[in-house]
Chain A
Amino acid sequence: MSIWLWIVTALAVIAALARAGLWAARRLSGDAPRFRDMSYGEALGYALALAAIIGGVWLWMKPGAVYFRWAVMGFAICAVAAYLFRLAGRHIGPAGLKRQFRRMPLTAAFGILVIILYAIVAIFAGWIAPHGQEAVLGAANIVPGGDPAMGGDPAFPLGTDRIGRDILSRLIYGAQNTVGLAFATTLLAFFLGGALGLLAAVVGGWLDQLLSRGVDVLMAIPSLIFALLLLTIASVWADGARGLMTLYMVLIIAVIDSTRVFRLARAVGIGIVVMDYVEAAKLRGEGMGHLVFREILPNAMAPLLAEFGLRFCFVFLTIASLSFLGVGIQPPLADWGTMVRDLAQFINFAAFAPMVALAPLLPALAIAVLTVGVNFVVDWMLHRSSGLKS
């Protein structure tokens, strides 16, 4: 039987099950309002969810599905950790913080936990990491897992790369390099884009036109290609100086990303400038500084903060991509993007040696978890700020 026929049959069975289940539920519950007013679409949704759960259990039982089992376990661990973290937050700390935690969804708690953990790891990398990021130690290509029978070594729980550097240590230092640079870059982008955007909103007229059209020109060029191009030029200027190269990268990404911040800040600012309280301040004779920083900025804070979270993720991914392409953070500094590139060929072993293939997935996972965590927090903040308005 072809796969398509198989899928269609399964869907038909699920649809029939949903119909039968809805009828049975109505009969058994004596037409309780919950089932009486339930539409067929909703019942179908429940049936599909049930099918997905059954499928998941079946996949779990299959001996080959190692990654699926890891994913499910990882998900469960994250959920429990987030739950415990939220529970702790609800009972420890000042009253204001407790109240925040009581209203917080689990996703946001997970995001905050991730951000805190990454921050701790990044700040204290020097103390936490068992080895230096540049240290070449003993054997190359030790398999993660620390099981000697499988080619591992308990001294290097996550294994070593192909020139024998400890992957765990490099991951920890990578947090410092990648996350730290991304944070600095995002701050710079916000300072630049936010200030100019709000200024364009308040002053308007030719200044607004000039800045906005300039931003349009910058935005018209695909950002990654543009960054690559500029970095190639910059690498000639830097003339091999590693620190200078990193500085150029930060500046270039900050300028490119500040265009997006400019757009948002200007749009939000224009909405606030027309408010009567800004008019009242203008008529009082207040200067530009007071208008921007006292009247407008506090009211633009919620959307700007949310954008900060998202922008941080993008900057972070851009740095990782540039490093992967070889023009970002320069070796031997540890960086997650570079690590993915260096370990990439191990992915070919996934079919018969899952542990070996884990090596390139670890830095990729570190990137993914932070991105997801930050987005959860941003979603929550957006939800809260929109809730405040209504």
Chain B
Amino acid sequence: MTPLLDIRDLRIEGRSDEAWHPIINGVDLTLGRGEVLGLIGESGAGKSTLGLAAMGYVRDGVRISGGSVMFDGIDLMNASAEEKRSLLGRRIAYVAQSAAASFNPAHKLIDQHVEAPVRHGVQHRGESVEDAIELYAKLRLPDPHEIGFRYPHQVSGGQLQRAMTAMAMSCRPDLIIFDEPTTALDVTTQIEVLAAIRDIVDQFGTSAIYITHDLAVVAQMADRIKVLLKGDEVETAPTREMLEHPREDYTRSLWAVRGFHRPEKPAPGPDSVPILSVEGVTAAYGEQVVLEDVSFDIHPGRTVAVVGESGSGKSTTARVITGLLPPRGGAVRFEGEPLPASYRQRSKDQLRQIQMIYQMADTALNPRQSIAQIIGRPVRFYSGLRGRRLRARVDELLEQIELDPAIYRDRLPGELSGGQKQRVGIARALAAEPRLIICDEVTSALDQLVAEGILKLLARLQDELGLSYMFITHDLATVKAIADEVVVMKEGRVIEQGPKTEMFTPPHHPYTDLLLSSVPEMDPDWLDNLLAERGVEDLGEAATGKM
């Protein structure tokens, strides 16, 4: 039997600086009917480009320079525009990373859903609407009869992602390309989307290419895994085989990322004065109360991880501590002394003691300033160093974050990679010589290998400089790696807090339990076991029952 999709020696080039640079260098890919192939690799590996090429499509400024793409005996490289139009949406569908950015905000979900089937003449509008409602039910969206008649902004991110999967399914395509469909979601939402996607793919026997950088996710979804590195294939193997016996060093290094683990430091003595105490803080944006009675301490030299889903008040807590959002009640103390509520009233020294590292290094660094200016400014501002001594201090800081001063001193942020930018963000915080650094999701926008490097750097700096960290994250793997204490937040309240070992051993608060169990593991049976454990009936059966 011929494979559904057969890509041979595909070469793709992208244009930049008036020359063509290879993005994909001769990759082969075959996909059988009903098979799910996982594509993994770091950002820049060419995963998305390859995924789009499987539809015979390339982005602007990119061209296919060689090879062939055969879809069910049709040569997509030489197909006419009309032929492609009859395939795309009908037999090949695409689910993008950010459903929020991919839905047209001006139209209701259902109108966008029925577009493909009506246009391809598969169904009439009425039939298609009924079918959409059925699909929404199968994907376990709440109110399947109502949800389609809402606009994209009226639906949550996880629901939108499922609605997009339903839309891709509308013509019952033979092949769906999922481009990181859960990367932007919280762990608890991710589970629902993963389970929904897998069940619906199983049920209709659809083939799929699943693109992601998260190994644990791909382990749940794919039958086979293909690892890409800088446009080259590293290896391809069935999921279990690859997880158990990765052949290549690069694959092994990907697997080992989650191995970073920092031993928990001994608990602080009873007479240790916390460097920062948050005492019964209540805060609100206008009338909307976002924090209620939040209290926790950070002791010198320790890392406190604040965990929770988006909207749980983690970042708001950071804003209260830094003084950007004066609290409505409660107090923040630094080494026992109460801090003024607003940053405007704090002294230069109080400001210096607490520094922040941001999630998006892109927006955290001024794009028009050189690295030396970005790092040099706080040094000069707080210590008054100038000229040669300022330069020496900047070089020293760059060395601390493991960037060569000679190369990077005069670059602009736009000329650095994501991980390097994040390192510069760390250096800017260090330049103030603070006691406490607030890390707001510092690794969540980075690839796993790069994120691990950042975590190791932060751990080393803590040992060398005796820093305390408040580590805001939704990623429990990060918490396991670096935290000494954990504070779990939900809907603006602290649900549970304590030392890490205590938090990761049962019994947990039910919400902590939900969070913990939602972190994907590398075991390919993990999702099945988890769903069985949570008592969710097999979705496929439930859905067929309804039909």
Binding site for B on A (CB under 8 A): 33, 36-37, 102, 275-277, 279-286, 294-295, 298-299, 301
The answer, among A36, A37, A283, for a CB contact under 8 Å with B356, is A283
Binary per-residue interface labels of chain B (327-346) against chain A in the complex, 1 for a CB within 8 Å, 0 otherwise: 00000000000000001001
For A286, list chain B residues within 8 Å (CB): 381
Once bound together, how far apart are the Cα atoms of A281 and B351, in whole Å?
11
Q: List 6 A-B contacts (CB under 8 A).
A: A277-B365, A280-B428, A284-B377, A285-B351, A294-B369, A299-B367
Q: Determine if A283 and B324 form an interchain contact, defined as CB atoms under 8 angstroms apart.
A: yes
Given A276-B360, A298-B366, A298-B368, answer yes or no on A33-B381 (Cβ-Cβ < 8 Å): no
Nearest to B432 among chain A residues (CB) is: A284
For B81, list chain A residues within 8 Å (CB): 36-37
The size class of the interface chain B forms with chain A is 20 to 34
Given A37-B80, A277-B365, A298-B366, answer yes or no on A284-B381 (Cβ-Cβ < 8 Å): yes
Is B165 close to A, CB under 8 A?
A: no
Q: Could you tell me the distance in whole angstroms from the C-beta of B63 to the nearest C-beta in chain A?
A: 13
Q: Determine if A280 and B80 form an interchain contact, defined as CB atoms under 8 angstroms apart.
A: no
Nearest to A389 among chain B residues (CB) is: B367
The answer, among A36, A279, A285, for a CB contact under 8 Å with B80, is A36
Q: Determine if A284 and B364 form an interchain contact, defined as CB atoms under 8 angstroms apart.
A: no
Nearest to A302 among chain B residues (CB) is: B368
Q: Determine if A280 and B343 form an interchain contact, defined as CB atoms under 8 angstroms apart.
A: no
Given A276-B360, A298-B368, answer yes or no on A283-B323 (Cβ-Cβ < 8 Å): yes
Q: Determine if B366 and A295 form an interchain contact, defined as CB atoms under 8 angstroms apart.
A: yes
Interface centre among A36, A275, A295 (most CB of B within 10 A): A275
In the complex, besides A280-B358, A283-B356, A286-B381, 5 extra interface pairs with C-beta distance below 8 angstroms are: A275-B364, A276-B358, A277-B366, A283-B322, A284-B382
For A282, list chain B residues within 8 Å (CB): 324, 343
Is B363 close to A, CB under 8 A?
A: yes
Nearest to B346 among chain A residues (CB) is: A285
Binary per-residue interface labels of chain B (490-504) against chain A in the complex, 1 for a CB within 8 Å, 0 otherwise: 000000000000000
Interface centre among B363, B366, B432 (most CB of A within 10 A): B366
Given A33-B80, A280-B356, answer yes or no on A285-B348 (Cβ-Cβ < 8 Å): yes
Which 6 A-B pairs give the minimum distances between C-beta atoms?
A298-B368, A37-B81, A276-B364, A276-B358, A277-B366, A285-B351
Once bound together, how far apart are the Cα atoms of A285 and B367, in whole Å?
20
For A36, list chain B residues within 8 Å (CB): 80-81
Once bound together, how far apart are the Cα atoms of A237 and B368, in whole Å?
47
For A280, list chain B residues within 8 Å (CB): 356, 358, 364, 428
Q: Could you tell me the distance in whole angstroms from the C-beta of B314 to the nearest C-beta in chain A?
A: 16
Is B144 close to A, CB under 8 A?
A: no
Q: Determine if B366 and A283 form an interchain contact, defined as CB atoms under 8 angstroms apart.
A: no
Is B378 close to A, CB under 8 A?
A: yes
Once bound together, how far apart are the Cα atoms of A284 and B344, in whole Å?
10
Nearest to A388 among chain B residues (CB) is: B414
For B363, list chain A residues within 8 Å (CB): 275-277
Once bound together, how far apart are the Cα atoms of A342 and B317, in whole Å?
71
For B369, list chain A residues within 8 Å (CB): 294, 298
Q: Could you tell me the distance in whole angstroms from the C-beta of B499 to the nearest C-beta in chain A?
A: 30
The answer, among B80, B360, B366, B378, for a CB contact under 8 Å with A284, is B378
Q: Determine if B368 and A299 form an interchain contact, defined as CB atoms under 8 angstroms apart.
A: yes
Q: Determine if A283 and B368 form an interchain contact, defined as CB atoms under 8 angstroms apart.
A: no
Residues 423-440 (chain B) with a chain A CB within 8 angstroms: 428, 432
Once bound together, how far apart are the Cα atoms of A102 and B17, in whole Å?
11
Once bound together, how far apart are the Cα atoms of A340 and B367, in whole Å?
47
Once bound together, how far apart are the Cα atoms of A370 and B322, in whole Å?
52
Once bound together, how far apart are the Cα atoms of A145 and B367, in whole Å?
55
Once bound together, how far apart are the Cα atoms of A298 and B355, in whole Å?
24
Once bound together, how far apart are the Cα atoms of A280 and B80, in whole Å?
53
For B324, list chain A residues within 8 Å (CB): 279, 282-283
Q: Could you tell me the distance in whole angstroms from the C-beta of A201 to the nearest C-beta in chain B?
A: 16
Q: Determine if B365 and A283 form an interchain contact, defined as CB atoms under 8 angstroms apart.
A: no
Binary per-residue interface labels of chain B (409-433) against chain A in the complex, 1 for a CB within 8 Å, 0 otherwise: 0000000000000000000100010
Once bound together, how far apart are the Cα atoms of A275 and B367, in whole Å?
11
Q: Determine if A283 and B351 form an interchain contact, defined as CB atoms under 8 angstroms apart.
A: yes
